[in-house]
Chain A
Amino acid sequence: MLNTIRAIGHHIVNAVWRIGVASRFFFLTLRYSGSSFRRFDLVIKELFSSGVMSLIIIVVAGLFVGMVLGLQGYETLKRYGSESALGVMVALGLVRELGPVMAALLFASRAGSAMTAEIGLMKATEQISAMEMMAVNPIARIVAPRFWAGVISMPLLAALFSAVGIFGGYLVGVVQIGVDEGSFWSQMQAAVDFREDIMNGIIKSLVFGTVVTVIALFEGFDAPPTAEGVSGATTRTVVTSSLAILMLDFVLTAIMFRGA
C-alpha cells in the first residue's frame, strides 16, 4: 500500500517537474526567437518540412471528414425537415471544432513526431553538442525556427482542413444527395460569423499549434540519446499532444462559445 502511494507520489512529482522544465524550455525558445525573425529563411525551411509536407494528409482527411459530416448531418437534419441547413451544420462543425482539432491531431502525429525524432537523433549523434561547441545556441538555431514554423502553419492547415471539409460536405450533400445548392451556400454565409466562429477557430488552432510544437520540440530535446529513448519520446509527443489538444479544446470551447 505504502509502495503504491510512494509510486503515485513519484509519478506526480516527476510530472510536475517535467512541466516546469518544459515551461522553462518554452520561455527560452521565446527568448531566443530573435534570430528566427532576422533569418526568416530558417523558418521558411521548417515551414516546408512541417507545413507543406503535412498538406496531403490534411487535405485527404479534411475531404473525408467533410463527406462524413455531410452524410450524417443530412440524415439527422432530414428528421426535422431542415436539410437546407446542411451547409451551416458542416461549416460550423468544421470551423469551430473539427478543423482546428483534427488538423492539430494530424499535425501532432505527422509533423510533431517527425520534429521529436529529428531533434532526438540530432542529440544522439552529438549534432547538438557539436553546435554548442561551435558557440551556436541550439535553442536559437534548431528549436526557435521549428517552433515558429509550427505556430504559423497550424492555423493555415486548420483553415485548409475546414475549406476542404466544406467542399466534401458539398460533394455529398449537394452533388450526391441533392440538397439545394443555393440554400447550402447562402445559409452557410448567413450563419457563419467571422469573429464568433472563424476567429475563435483560428485562436484555437494557434493555441494547439503552440502546444503541439512545444511538446514535440521539448520531447526531442529531452530524449535520452539512445534508440529506445528517441522512440519513447516520439510516442510521448503523439500521446501528450493528443490529450493536450482534446483537453484544451474543451477549455477553449467553454470560454469561447458558452452561452453564444
Chain B
Amino acid sequence: MSPNALVEIRDLNFTYDKRPVLQGINMTFPKGKLVAIMGLSGCGKTTLLRHIGGALKPTKGYVKMDGQVMHELDQDGLYAVRRKMGMLFQFGALFTDMSVYDNVAFQMREHTDLPEDIIHDLVIMKLNAVGLRGAQHMMPSELSGGMARRVALARTVALDPMLIMYDEPFAGLDPISLTVIGDLIRRLNDALGATSIIVTHDIQESLKIVDYVYFMAGGVIVAEGTPEELRACDTDFVHQFVHGEMDGPVPFHYPGVDYHQDLNLRARHSA
C-alpha cells in the first residue's frame, strides 16, 4: 500500500445473484484529497462505497483502509475502523426521534466519556461550521432537505474522521443548498485534514470541488483523471456524461423489441 494512500482498492469484484456488479476495480484515495466516483445510477457506485465501509464482502480482491483489509476484520475490528470513518447518507439519515443537537452529539455520547459540557461545546462548534447553530433545538421533521443534509454533515464529522464518505450529497437540493453543501464538503475536508470520497452523478457541482475523479459504467472504471483532464476527455461515454447529452453510448431507449413490430405496423401494412 502506498504510504500516501488512506484507502486502496485492488482488483475488486462483486457478484450479486450471479450478476457481476463490480469487475476488476482498482482505485487509490490519497490522504487529504477529495475524490469523486461518478457514473450513472446503477453503475455500482454505492456498492463500491459499501465495500469501503465494510458493509459488503467482495467476491474477489480487497479494500484496504488505513492498512487493514476490510473484509478480513471481525465485528470489533470493523467497528474500530469505522470509528475513523464518517458517512453522509443520500437523504441525511438523521435519527428522527432526536433533535438536531442530539443527532450531532450521538457519536460523542456513544464512543467517548466526555462530560456533557464539553460535548455541548463540540456540538455547537460543529453546528456553527455548517451554519445551523441556531437550529440546534429543532427536530429533523422541521428541517428542509438542505438543512437536514447540513446537520447530517455536522454529525458525520462529529468525531473528526480520517475518511469521510458522501453518498449522493447533492441529490434533490436547490441551487443554493447545492453550492453550500459543495463548499462545506471541500472546506471540511481541508480543515480536518481528512480524505473524502464523493459518490455522485452531479457532474458540474462535483468537478468544481474535487481533486480527482473516477468514472464508472457497468461495474468497471471507464475513465479517470483530474477535473481538467475529464473536461478535455474525448471518450464518448465521458463526453456524453459531462455534457449531459441525451443519446450516445448510454442510449435513450431501453433495449426492447423493434418499434414497428411493437406497434404491429408491418402486420397491418401487409394486410
Which residues does A use to contact B, with CB under 8 Å? 121-122, 125-127, 129-137, 141
Q: Chain B's nearest CB lies how many Å from the CB of A138?
A: 11
B83 in contact (CB, < 8 A): yes
Question: Are A135 and B91 in contact (CB-based, < 8 A)?
Answer: no
Question: Are A130 and B91 in contact (CB-based, < 8 A)?
Answer: no
* Chain A residues in 8 Å Cβ range of B96: 121-122, 125, 127
Question: Are B82 and A135 in contact (CB-based, < 8 A)?
Answer: yes
Q: Chain A's nearest CB lies how many Å from the CB of B142?
A: 16
* A126 CA to B80 CA, complexed, in Å: 21
B90 in contact (CB, < 8 A): yes
Select from chain A the residue with minimum beta-carbon distance to B167: A126
Q: Chain A's nearest CB lies how many Å from the CB of B72?
A: 17
The A-contacting residues of B in range 66-119, CB under 8 angstroms, are 75, 78-80, 82-83, 85-87, 89-91, 93-96, 106-107, 110-111
Question: Are B107 and A125 in contact (CB-based, < 8 A)?
Answer: no
* Chain B residues in 8 Å Cβ range of A136: 106-107, 110-111
* Chain B residues in 8 Å Cβ range of A135: 78-80, 82-83, 111
Question: Are A125 and B91 in contact (CB-based, < 8 A)?
Answer: yes
Q: Chain B's nearest CB lies how many Å from the CB of A227?
A: 15
Question: Are A134 and B110 in contact (CB-based, < 8 A)?
Answer: yes
Q: A126-B91, A130-B95, A134-B82 are known contacts; what are 12 more A-B pairs with Cβ within 8 Å?
A: A125-B93, A126-B93, A127-B94, A129-B55, A129-B89, A130-B93, A131-B95, A133-B55, A135-B83, A136-B106, A136-B107, A136-B110
Known: A127-B95, A141-B110. A132 touches B90 (CB 8 A): no
* A131 CA to B85 CA, complexed, in Å: 12
* Chain B residues in 8 Å Cβ range of A134: 82, 106-107, 110
Question: Are A133 and B90 in contact (CB-based, < 8 A)?
Answer: no
Most B C-beta atoms less than 10 A away, residue of A121, A127, A131, A134 = A134
* A137 CA to B82 CA, complexed, in Å: 12
* Chain A residues in 8 Å Cβ range of B106: 134, 136
Q: Chain A's nearest CB lies how many Å from the CB of B214?
A: 21
Q: Chain A's nearest CB lies how many Å from the CB of B110?
A: 5
* Chain B residues in 8 Å Cβ range of A121: 96
B39 in contact (CB, < 8 A): no
* A186 CA to B12 CA, complexed, in Å: 78
B53 in contact (CB, < 8 A): yes
Judged by DSSP, the binding face of A is helix
Judged by DSSP, the binding face of B is mixed
Q: Chain B's nearest CB lies how many Å from the CB of A195?
A: 41
* A135 CA to B147 CA, complexed, in Å: 24
Q: Chain B's nearest CB lies how many Å from the CB of A47?
A: 15
Q: Chain A's nearest CB lies how many Å from the CB of B81?
A: 8
* Chain A residues in 8 Å Cβ range of B110: 134, 136, 141
A selection of 20 A-B contacts at a CB cut-off of 8 Å is: A121-B96, A125-B96, A126-B89, A126-B90, A127-B93, A127-B94, A127-B95, A129-B93, A130-B89, A130-B95, A132-B55, A132-B82, A133-B53, A133-B85, A134-B110, A135-B78, A135-B79, A135-B83, A135-B111, A141-B110
* A131 CA to B96 CA, complexed, in Å: 13
* A85 CA to B79 CA, complexed, in Å: 63
* A136 CA to B86 CA, complexed, in Å: 12
* A134 CA to B87 CA, complexed, in Å: 8
Known: A125-B93, A125-B96, A127-B96. A133 touches B87 (CB 8 A): yes
Select from chain A the residue with minimum beta-carbon distance to B90: A126
Select from chain B the residue with minimum beta-carbon distance to A131: B95
* A137 CA to B91 CA, complexed, in Å: 21
* A133 CA to B96 CA, complexed, in Å: 17
* A121 CA to B141 CA, complexed, in Å: 14
Most B C-beta atoms less than 10 A away, residue of A127, A130, A132 = A130
* Chain A residues in 8 Å Cβ range of B107: 134, 136
* Chain A residues in 8 Å Cβ range of B111: 135-136
* Chain B residues in 8 Å Cβ range of A133: 53, 55, 82, 85-87
| Nearest 8 Cβ contacts at the A-B interface | A135-B79, A130-B93, A126-B93, A135-B82, A133-B87, A126-B89, A135-B83, A136-B110
Most B C-beta atoms less than 10 A away, residue of A122, A133, A137 = A133
Q: Chain A's nearest CB lies how many Å from the CB of B86?
A: 8
* Chain B residues in 8 Å Cβ range of A122: 95-96
* Chain A residues in 8 Å Cβ range of B79: 135, 137
* Chain B residues in 8 Å Cβ range of A126: 89-91, 93
* Chain A residues in 8 Å Cβ range of B85: 133
* A125 CA to B78 CA, complexed, in Å: 23
The A-contacting residues of B in range 20-73, CB under 8 angstroms, are 53, 55
Question: Are B87 and A130 in contact (CB-based, < 8 A)?
Answer: yes
